[in-house]
Chain A
Amino acid sequence: MLEFEHVSRDFATPDGRVYRAIEDVSLAVAPGAFVAIVGPSGCGKSTLLNVAAGLLAPTSGGVRVDGAPLSGVNRHATYMFQQDALLPWKTVRDNVALGLTFAGAPRAEAHARADDWLARVGLASFAGHYPAQLSGGMRKRAIMAQNWILDRRVVLMDEPFSALDVHTRQQMESELLALWDTAERRTIVFVTHDLEEAIALADEVVILSAGPAARIVARHRVTLDRPRDLMELRTQPAFVDLYRTIWAVLRDEVIKSQRGAGGAS
């Protein structure tokens, strides 16, 4: 169980004022649930995720993992960033094995397990390549393997596929669901600004208001059957209905954020 309890977070602005990114966010994510957080850009989605990761301390409130208050880096979670986070100077195999290496696993064992995971994500023949030699989609696969090789209960994802082209993106979404949808589901908190992606993947969509002081404005259950066929899903009536309902809420926030931005970012 991953719980946000009245989490607020302030940042100092360059001109010496205080900017409140998120305000009083409380959210409980059940074990094995796939929760998507959507909101207009700049609404503090990433801030929320960084707080859950323990990379950022909340100004007030806190995070609990299985009941225990989180302090420091969240050892129960891995994090898939929007940007490429593979170490460019390490081979794909060494990158995937990184978490095991940090935990002190013997090199041979770490490599063997990395190779298993590379095979699972279809990168077996690229183990000795460097990240720069892979396509964007392949790098995402390697990152997924790097995250999943560790036995962590929670996976935090910050718009992990936003830089990919539409088709590669859909492929990665399918592969993510295949990785997740096993007997032992991990808890996923998936931040995106793309409502379609959120509905297609998640069990629940959480909508954040426009910043500053973003808060949760609505939560919607996604009752679409699993396994989901992402190639067909987006045209099904149930999907379209859900999209229309949730978009009605999100649209207002997007309009607010555009008005609030007033040309500045």
Chain B
Amino acid sequence: MTHRRTVGRAEVFVWQAALGVAIVASWQALVSVHALDPFFFSRPTDIAQRIVRWIATGSLWRHLATTMEESLMGLAVGAALGIVLGFVLARAPFAARVLDPYIKMLNAVPRVVLAPLFLLWFGLGIWSKIALAVTLVFFVMFFNTYQGVRDADPVLIDNVRMLGASERQLTRHVLVPSALTWIFSSLQTSLGFAMVGAVVGEYLGATRGLGYVIAQAEGTFDTTGVFAGMAVLAVVVVIVSAGVTRLERWLLRWKA
């Protein structure tokens, strides 16, 4: 690396905004000169109007709240299961070796094919979506926890042993924090997966949620509705991931 100019946050933001405006403006322009067919591609102004209408009628909040509830529940349950199993297997190498092929097999199952099963098992309500989100979040959390515990620096372990730590204290003061750094670093991915799980679940069968909204719009060839749903989802992800980034920075503040 030869030159490295420090670029201010404001400058980056200006360029980000400019890029977004350019893309949306050219979309609008291409549709208005009929280079793109509005039936297939809608147009940004229509999409914006649709979103404003959703906000005005309040239907947006109802669907969004459902999707967020499913995502967060999926994240919480998937994280809890993944972290516990990751911890147990990291401390029980024999069991880890026995279970290894099964865990890999389960992780290889495409989640979309599970969705209909979950609909049968858990119904059309939020639980089938939570279950789908869990299957995605669980593996990310499991692998990161497992790796984090296994990756704990042996010198740190020896040092606390010499300082008189019991097995429980070793776990609490070294192994858990060591794994937490991995777990926090994967929060971003996990949250994204949780939302994917929730939306896909809604898409395949639900009565509420953004995925349901998109599926309904697609069913009536309403491309404006599809794009509006996607736009809302995108904005939500950006906002939530900014929040996660701040949380992560605070939790890992000891890293220089």
The reply to whether A99 and B254 contact each other, CB–CB distance below 8 Å, is: no
> How many interface residues does B have (CB within 8 Å)?
22
Interface check B242, CB cutoff 8 A = no
Pick from A25-33, A62-70, A82-90, A196-204 the stretch touching chain B.
A82-90
The reply to whether A150 and B158 contact each other, CB–CB distance below 8 Å, is: no
Instruction: Please indicate the chain B residues that have their CB under 8 angstroms from the CB of A83 in the complex.
Output: 153, 155
9 A-B Cβ contacts within 8 A? A74-B162, A77-B162, A79-B158, A83-B153, A83-B155, A88-B255, A98-B165, A99-B163, A102-B169
Instruction: Please indicate the chain B residues that have their CB under 8 angstroms from the CB of A85 in the complex.
Output: 155-156, 158-159
The reply to whether A102 and B164 contact each other, CB–CB distance below 8 Å, is: yes
Query: Complex formed: what's the CA distance from A132 to B252 in Å?
Result: 12
Instruction: Please indicate the chain A residues that have their CB under 8 angstroms from the CB of B164 in the complex.
Output: 75, 99, 102-103, 150
| Chain B residues engaging chain A, CB cutoff 8 angstroms | 153, 155-156, 158-166, 169, 173-174, 177, 180-181, 253-256
Q: In terms of DSSP, what is the predominant structure of the interface of chain A?
A: loop
Chain B residue nearest in CB terms to A99: B163
**Apart from A85-B159, A87-B160: 7 A-B pairs, beta carbons within 8 A:** A78-B163, A85-B156, A102-B160, A103-B164, A131-B254, A146-B163, A150-B164
Query: Complex formed: what's the CA distance from A85 to B162 in Å?
Result: 11
Instruction: Please indicate the chain A residues that have their CB under 8 angstroms from the CB of B161 in the complex.
Output: 55, 73
The reply to whether B254 and A132 contact each other, CB–CB distance below 8 Å, is: yes
Interface check A126, CB cutoff 8 A = no
Interface check A2, CB cutoff 8 A = no
Instruction: Please indicate the chain A residues that have their CB under 8 angstroms from the CB of B156 in the complex.
Output: 85, 87
Query: Complex formed: what's the CA distance from A24 to B93 in Å?
Result: 34
Known contacts: A130-B256, A132-B255, A132-B256. The answer to whether A98 contacts B173 by CB under 8 A is yes
The reply to whether A78 and B162 contact each other, CB–CB distance below 8 Å, is: yes
The reply to whether B162 and A79 contact each other, CB–CB distance below 8 Å, is: yes
Instruction: Please indicate the chain A residues that have their CB under 8 angstroms from the CB of B180 in the complex.
Output: 89
Instruction: Please indicate the chain B residues that have their CB under 8 angstroms from the CB of A53 in the complex.
Output: 158, 162
| Chain A residues engaging chain B, CB cutoff 8 angstroms | 53, 55, 73-75, 77-79, 81, 83-85, 87-90, 98-99, 101-103, 130-133, 146, 150
Query: Complex formed: what's the CA distance from A77 to B169 in Å?
Result: 19
The reply to whether B255 and A87 contact each other, CB–CB distance below 8 Å, is: no
The reply to whether B177 and A89 contact each other, CB–CB distance below 8 Å, is: yes
The reply to whether B254 and A88 contact each other, CB–CB distance below 8 Å, is: yes
Query: Complex formed: what's the CA distance from A209 to B63 in Å?
Result: 75
Query: B162: which of A73, A87, A130 is its contact (CB, 8 Å)?
Result: A73
Query: Complex formed: what's the CA distance from A84 to B154 in Å?
Result: 11
Query: Complex formed: what's the CA distance from A87 to B155 in Å?
Result: 10
Instruction: Please indicate the chain A residues that have their CB under 8 angstroms from the CB of B253 in the complex.
Output: 130
Instruction: Please indicate the chain A residues that have their CB under 8 angstroms from the CB of B160 in the complex.
Output: 87, 98, 102
Q: How far is the CB of A101 from chain B (nearest CB, A)?
A: 8
Chain B residue nearest in CB terms to A56: B158
Query: Complex formed: what's the CA distance from A85 to B166 in Å?
Result: 17
